[in-house]
Amino acid sequence: MPESLAIGIDVGGQSAKCGVVTRSGVILRQCVISSMQPTLDGFMSSLGDAVKMLCTQTAHEGTVIGIGADAPNANYYKGTIESAPNLKWARDSQGRPAVIPFSELLSERTGLKVTLTNDANAAALGERTYGVARGMDNFIMITLGTGVGSGIVTDGRLVYGSDGFAGELGHVCVERDGRQCNCGLKGCLETYASATGVARSARQMLQDDPRPSLLRNLAPETITSKDVFDAAAGGDSLSKDIFTYTGRILGHAFADFVKFSAPEAIILFGGLTKSRQFFHDEMVREMNANLMDIWKGKVQVLYSSLKESDAAILGASSLVW
C-alpha cells in the first residue's frame, strides 16, 4: 500500500508556503507562492496549481489524502477566512476584508478535503504531532511574533470554542487602560510581549529612564526587537531590563492561563523566542510567584523543537492526520 501523505499550507500576508509531508514529519517537496495577488481567483488558481504540482512530484512516494492549511482569521468550523486585513485577495468588490470560503474553493480546485485553522492552532498541532509536545494531552502553545497567538490543547484536543475563535490569548488584558492594540482594545498582552511590543517598551523606557543605552544611537521610531536583542547581547543594561519587563508580563499572564486549563506545559514559538536568554528566567519566576501551591514549580515552559522554516508547513499538515 502506498504511503499516505498530507499537504500543509501556511498562508501569510506575503506568501503561502506549501509542502508535502509524510506521517513521520518529513517534508518531501515544498514550494512558495506569492500571497500578494490582487484577486481571489488569481490566488486560488496559483494555490490549486501548486497543490497539483506537489501531488504529481510525489506520486511515486505516496498518495496525498488531504490538505491542512492555516491562515489569519481562519474559522475552523466553517473553513472560512473572515475579515483578514492583511490578505489582499480576501476582500469584497469594495476592497473591504470579506468572508472567503477558503476550504471549499481549494477543495473544488484540487479534489482534496481541506481543513483550515489559524496559525497558532496549527503550530500547537504541529508541536504535538512532530515536536516537543509529543504525548502531551494538555498544553498551551504561545506564538511570540509580530503579535501573540495561542493554541490551547486540553484532553488531547484543540479548544475551538462555540465559534472556532477560542484561544485569543494575545488579547487578554495585562494592563487596564494600557497600550492601544490593533484589535481596538487596550492593554492586550501582545502590545507588550510581541516583537512590536518589545519595540514599544524600548521607546517607552528610553523616554522614562535616564540611563545611557546603545539604543539611544537609533532613531526611536525605527527601533525593532532585534535592535533591543543586539544591544542586550552587547551588555546594554537598559535593553536587558526591557526583556526582563517583557518576561515579567508574560509570566504573570501565563499564571492565569494555568488557572484556566492546568496544562503540563506552555510552549513558546516565534521570532521573539530568539531573545529567550534575556527573559526566560524572569518569566518562569513571575509565573510561579503567581501560581497556587498545587501548580508552583510544576508547569514547564518549553520552546518549540521544530525548525522555524518547516514548522508552519508541518503544523498545517498535521490537521490532516
Least spacing, CB of residue 142 vs a second copy, in Å: 13
Q: Is 105 helix (H, G, I), strand (E, B) or coil?
A: helix
Asked whether 12 and 74 are in contact (CB, 8 A), the reply is no
Judged by CB under 8 A, does residue 106 bind a second copy? no
Q: Which of 264, 271, 274, 303 binds a second copy (CB under 8 A)?
A: 264
Give me the residues paired with residue 148 across strands. Answer: 144
The span from the CA of 250 to the CA of 300, in Å, is 14
Cβ proximity to a second copy: between 27 and 185 the closer is: 185
| In the complex, least distance from residue 275 CB atom to a second copy, rounded to whole angstroms | 24
Site string for a second copy, 180-219 (x = CB under 8 A): ---xxx----------------------------------
Pick from 258, 263, 256, 267: nearest CA to 138 = 263
Residue placing its CB nearer to a second copy in the complex, 43 or 254: 254
**Closer residue to a second copy (CB): 177 or 208:** 177
Of 4, 146, 204, 261, the one binding a second copy by CB under 8 A: 261
Q: Which of 46, 154, 224, 305 binds a second copy (CB under 8 A)?
A: 154
239: helix, strand or coil: helix
CB of 41 to a second copy, least distance (A): 27
Q: Is 254 an interacting residue with respect to a second copy (CB under 8 A)?
A: no
- Unique residue bearing C-alpha cell 518531501: 28
For residue 29, the one-letter residue type is R
Q: Are residues 113 and 70 in contact, defined by beta-carbon separation less than 8 angstroms?
A: no
For residues 320 and 169, give the distance between their C-alpha atoms in angstroms, rounded to a whole number: 25
85 binds a second copy per the rule CB under 8 A: no
Torsion of CA 84, 75, 71, 24, to 10 degrees: 170
Interacting residues toward a second copy by CB under 8 A:
82, 137-138, 152, 154-155, 157, 159-169, 171-173, 176, 183-185, 252, 255-257, 259-264, 290-295, 298
